[in-house]
Amino acid sequence: MTPETTTVERPLPLTLEEIYKGVVKKMKIKRKSYDASGKQTKVDQILEVPIKPGLKKGSKIKFNGVGDQVEGGRQDLHFIVEEVGRRDPPSVLTSEIRDYMLTTLNRNLTPSIAVRTTTSSTRSRSNSRKP
């Protein structure tokens, strides 16, 4: 009976903008392997990690058989999505939020401003007619 391959979990730091829009991250990994003579070698590999828009924090993106060579096969590699902060807010995301807020604000305030203006005009006229 062959032993079960192990799983290695690594954090995948993403900005809020990358999680919101989706992106393909390129991750360079080093894995240990053995050649035909049994000598250990290290091999570099670049993985393209697809991030779907709206992915949740803590989600796992799994790659089977890309880790170190161990007894029983190659290790599986799981990237765990982590949200990291940014010092400067992403400009595209900020403008989208700003546009949404302005549209919502305009939609909600326009009727109340019109009613107040009408009410204000009516009071001014009625006060000027009274002796």
Spans of all domains in the chain:
7-83, 88-131
Instruction: Decide if pLDDT at 70 tops 90.
Output: no
User: Which has more pLDDT, 130 or 100?
Assistant: 100
Q: Among 9-23, 45-59, 60-74, name the one with the lowest average pLDDT.
A: 60-74
Alpha carbons 108 and 24: distance in angstroms, whole number: 38
Task: Output 31 or 93, whichever has higher pLDDT.
Answer: 31
Kindly state which CATH superfamily the domain 7-83 is placed in. Answer: Urease metallochaperone UreE, N-terminal domain (2.60.260.20)
Residue 31, Cβ density class (10 Å: 0-12 exposed, 13-18 middle, ≥19 buried): middle
Instruction: Express each pLDDT in 1-47 by its tens digit.
Output: 556 778 889 999 998 888 888 999 998 988 888 888 888 888 898 99
> Around Cβ 77, how many Cβ atoms within 10 Å?
22
What SS3 class is residue 118? helix
The mean-pLDDT minimum among 16-20, 37-41, 71-75, 87-91 falls in 87-91
Report d(CA 42, CA 80) in Å as an integer: 24
Return the bridge partners of 47, or none. Answer: 27
**Is pLDDT at 121 greater than 70 in this prediction?**
no
Q: What pLDDT is attached to residue 31?
A: 87
